[in-house]
Amino acid sequence: MSGGENGTPRKPRPGKEQQEPDTAFDLWLKRGLHQLFDDVANEPIPEELLRLIEEDRDK
């Protein structure tokens, strides 16, 4: 009977260390998303949108 079936936590398999948080895929994904969206995220906020936010805040 393997662990986990009766509600007890499973023990990690020998030789299986926990994966690093930044695996090759994670790094690739972060870089790709930055390439796609950094320019958009760095654009200034339009004045009309800022005005609408301020008007709503004053309510």
**0.85 exceeded by the pTM?**
no
Structural domain harbouring 34: 24-58
For residues 22 and 41, what is the distance between their CA atoms, to the nearest angstrom?
Answer: 23
For residues 37 and 1, what is the distance between their CA atoms, to the nearest angstrom?
Answer: 49
pLDDT digits (tens, 9 = 90+) for 1-15: 444 555 556 655 555
In a domain, 8, yes or no: no
Local confidence band at 22 (pLDDT 50, 70, 90 cut-offs): confident
In a domain, 53, yes or no: yes
Q: Count structural domains, the chain.
A: 1
